[in-house]
Structure 1
Amino acid sequence: MSHPHPELSAPEPLPEGALRVTPLGGLGEVGRNMTAFEYDGRLLLVDCGVLFPEDHQPGIDLILPDWSSIRDRLDQIEALVLTHGHEDHIGATPYLLRERGDLPLVGSKLTLALLDSKLREHRLKETVHHVVKEGDRLTFGPFELEFVAVNHSIPDALAVAIRTGAGMVLHTGDFKMDQLPLDGRITDLRAFARLGEEGVDLFLTDSTNAETPGFTPAEKKITPVIDQVFRESQQRIIVACFASHVHRVQQVLDAAYEHERQVAYVGRSMVRNMGIARDLGYLKVPPGVLVDTKDLADLPPERQVLISTGSQGEPMSALSRIAQRNHNFVHIEEGDTVLLASSLIPGNENAVYRVINGLARWGAKVVHKGNALVHVSGHASAGELLYCYNIVKPRNVLPVHGEIRHMLANADLARATGIENVVIAEDGVVVDLIDGVARVAGKVDCGYVFVDGSSVGDVTESDLKDRRILGEEGFISVIVVVDSVSGKVAAGPEIHARGNALDDATFDEIKQPIIDALDRAIAEGNTDAHQLQQTVRRVIGRWVSNTHRRRPMIIPVVIEA
């Protein structure tokens, strides 16, 4: 098994007849999935998603894949294939379309409908769409594509087989093998087996749940728990789930109908996505169940159900605002039941428990993954992955979609079934398929691209480090006026602190040492303003660190007068 190496150099030009696979996001993380395939001078992209920021990335709205390595080749892209409609697979597409607006988009009916509403938000014109379903075959340049039904936590998900002169690649997208799905659409293992018989040269497999033993439980297992919540609740029920989880919303609508309650959606993305799902026939709304939020308030509490966004504790989401009691028209009352019907995405735990505590403080009963079976994963567990390896029998495996530990666990499963060549790559690591063998061929630059307000890619890791220091340690400004004739300090130092427990009077004892240090520096011939600022920064920085155990951002200003 080959491992990525940080000292990998840029890859050589692609040999004739070879296929190059370059992950531009999604390997080593759960999010911003995007992979570039190159054959015969042409490119095919699969997925273009976003990653949501964590606490250590203050002020960042979204993180995009890094397609800088192919930016000068955007005209060579034959198409962008979208495996399903989750944000971590389609969310960055508008940003890519800003750079090439006529890029053909390929995906299922629901996937492209969800993307279209996103493009309208970004005020982008609709590009060329190729709506596909399982069993369809399309050719784009040297890439022949075949689509296979897979089961996931959103309807209409697809795996894609990519046939080229160098061999066949099978990319699962996100998938699991629920044998009793709510919509009756199972992962097509017969198609996987047929492709395996033809010969899969490279198998890109979803790693997210590779560490979880056994099989992912069926969605239907949750139905009795939802039913119990409806049976036992004496007042209003608020259900929080992902705005794309059509199956979960379907279960809640069915339970509401059964228990003679009415339902309203809360949250712009929930209203939009469920409207799309209903219009396309993926969501069956029982008669008389769905009402407008304003009309729901006229009903007694025991007949009200709200389906809301915010299951991950997002600070601006409907559920967070409800928990803080600053939502426009939803106010938690003693005895309400809140059902958090979703997983905990790693890194969101604190935010979610903050919301749970907020809701509990107002007297709500909170049912969540920690105390009831209210969510099942959308990803295949270890047992399902073993099945796939034995059915497909690929020559080479490249685990995708997951943190390093997930991809290594996935690699172990592949090797356990007798697959010898398993390649572990990370974002930017180039894998070439030559004569049926996949190997690491080099590395391209591939970092995080931060979206901050309207700016894309302008914020660097260094900027984030500054923001973290400001947020955690505060800052100190020091202003000194130096007489350009005498070379002596004419005024100051004037010192102010913000964002920490230090008040301005604290700095009286360091003012004279700063003056002395400046006098010495000027006497030694250091009259450049930048050098004098560095002198001020060193003196006050050492003093604050030794005296107060803080490392704030220090902003020295030396003015010559």
Structure 2
Amino acid sequence: MVVVATFSSNIHRVQQVINAAVACGRKVLVNGRSMVANTVVARQLGYLQIPAETLIELRELRDLPRSEVVVITTGSQGEPLSVLSRMAMDDYRKLPLETGDTVILSSSFIPGNEKAISRLINLLYRRGAEVFYEKTSEVHVSGHASQEELKLVLSLTRPHCFVPIHGEYRHLVKHAQLATSMGVAAERVQVLENGQPLLVSINGLRLEERVATGRIFIDGKGVGDVGMMELRDRRHLANHGLVMVLLGINQNDGAILYGPELVTRGFVVEEENTEFLDEARQELCQMLEEHSLEVLSDWEEMQAEVRKTLRRFFNRHIDRRPLILPVIFEQ
């Protein structure tokens, strides 16, 4: 069985796969929600030509030799819930992969998806499949228009105003320059960034005041209430752990009434590092003895000194940077 994974929006690529399947005498199974939906619409509009006897349903697969079937599906970017990913994890009983099957990833590696795609390829090989993708095989040509094709579109449409909207910033700039070279006036060509509104009127183009854009973090029932500071602390906790310092001080004479006690989470195993934590406590005690009553009675100053002392100690001894949370009680 041959499995071809591509973007469901790339109808021309789907047609190419169908043509190849017909030429080889194979039946075609279209699988995946978006792939099926786009195929139905494309056929209704006349953009996709599939011989009636070529297309099969999933239930018909068991009655055909696997060597006579081509499956067109999605998941070429390693999307975790896609049909291809489920097949790779042996979690799609209706369409299992077997040793000797061929999987073709007909797409480029979109930046940011490399790790997911590499994991997918490894899983496919674990199922015994042979995998072809752009870095090892000449099975994919970009579906994005080249410069000459973009020129053709500009010459056919002859836009009065032009705003490139797809690609990274360097792509937008080059596309804008191309439009200018094709006769669009420079004052009617505008490169935008996310959050930059553009007013289009009979008078031309005008930039409006920027608006806030970007990702909004949803945490439980809260939407956008967790800011960058909170996310930074969470990352710090995840990477380095937490050390809580419990300390009781007499506000009148600066005497230590309790502690310092160190409580750690995700930093070191307390039972196995008692000597190390005792050394840290001694370091804190020495710091407290060296400071004046004025410093000891200032909560913020005291917390800063505790953090600084422990940060230096941990960095010097084990080269770690836990989140240090002093809790100071005064009496």
How does the TM-score come out when normalised to structure 2?
Answer: 0.75
Specify the alignment match of 1:426 in structure 2.
193
Specify the alignment match of 1:541 in structure 2.
311
Specify the alignment match of 1:556 in structure 2.
325
Pair 1:372 & 2:141 matched: no
SS of alignment partner, residue 163 of structure 2: strand
Asked if structure 2 preserves the Cα contact closer than 8 Å seen for 1:256 and 1:289, the reply is no
Pair 1:489 & 2:258 matched: yes
SS of alignment partner, residue 263 of structure 2: strand
Specify the alignment match of 2:172 in structure 1.
407
Specify the alignment match of 2:4 in structure 1.
239
Residue pairs, 1:102-121, within 5 angstroms = none
Once the two structures are superposed, residues 29-65 of structure 1 have per-residue CA deviations (whole angstroms, 9 ceiling, x without a partner) of xxxxxxxxxxxxxxxxxxxxxxxxxxxxxxxxxxxxx
Greater gyration radius? 2
Paired letter, 2:76: S
Report the number of matched residues. 318
- Of 466, 474, 478, which aligns to 2:240? 474
Higher-strand-fraction structure: 1
Paired letter, 2:88: A
Asked if structure 1 preserves the Cα contact closer than 8 Å seen for 2:73 and 2:83, the reply is yes
The separation in 2 between residues aligned to 1:266 and 1:508, in whole angstroms, is 62
The separation in 1 between residues aligned to 2:169 and 2:249, in whole angstroms, is 58
Higher-helix-fraction structure: 2
Once the two structures are superposed, residues 494-551 of structure 1 have per-residue CA deviations (whole angstroms, 9 ceiling, x without a partner) of 22325xxx54425443232234446667833555766655444333334344444444
SS of alignment partner, residue 117 of structure 2: helix
Residue pairs, 1:22-421, within 5 angstroms = 236-274=1-39, 285=50, 286-287=52-53, 289-292=55-58, 295-297=60-62, 299-328=64-93, 330-370=95-135, 371-377=137-143, 379-390=144-155, 394=159, 396-418=161-183, 419-421=185-187
Structure 1: runs of 5+ lacking an equivalent = 1-235
CA RMSD of aligned residues (A): 3.8
Asked if structure 1 preserves the Cα contact closer than 8 Å seen for 2:241 and 2:264, the reply is no
The separation in 2 between residues aligned to 1:527 and 1:287, in whole angstroms, is 87
The separation in 1 between residues aligned to 2:93 and 2:311, in whole angstroms, is 47
The separation in 1 between residues aligned to 2:278 and 2:313, in whole angstroms, is 12
Q: How far off is 1:339 after superposition?
A: 0.8
The separation in 1 between residues aligned to 2:110 and 2:126, in whole angstroms, is 24
Which structure exhibits the higher relative contact order, with contacts defined as CA atoms closer than 8 Å and separated by 6 or more residues? 1
Asked if structure 2 preserves the Cα contact closer than 8 Å seen for 1:423 and 1:439, the reply is no
Q: How far off is 1:332 after superposition?
A: 3.7
Sort the Cα spacing of 1:541 and 1:277 in 2 relative to 1 into closer, same or farther, 3 A. farther
The separation in 1 between residues aligned to 2:69 and 2:237, in whole angstroms, is 45
Specify the alignment match of 1:185 in structure 2.
none
The separation in 2 between residues aligned to 1:515 and 1:488, in whole angstroms, is 12
SS of alignment partner, residue 560 of structure 1: strand
Q: How far off is 1:351 after superposition?
A: 2.4
Structure 2: runs of 5+ lacking an equivalent = none
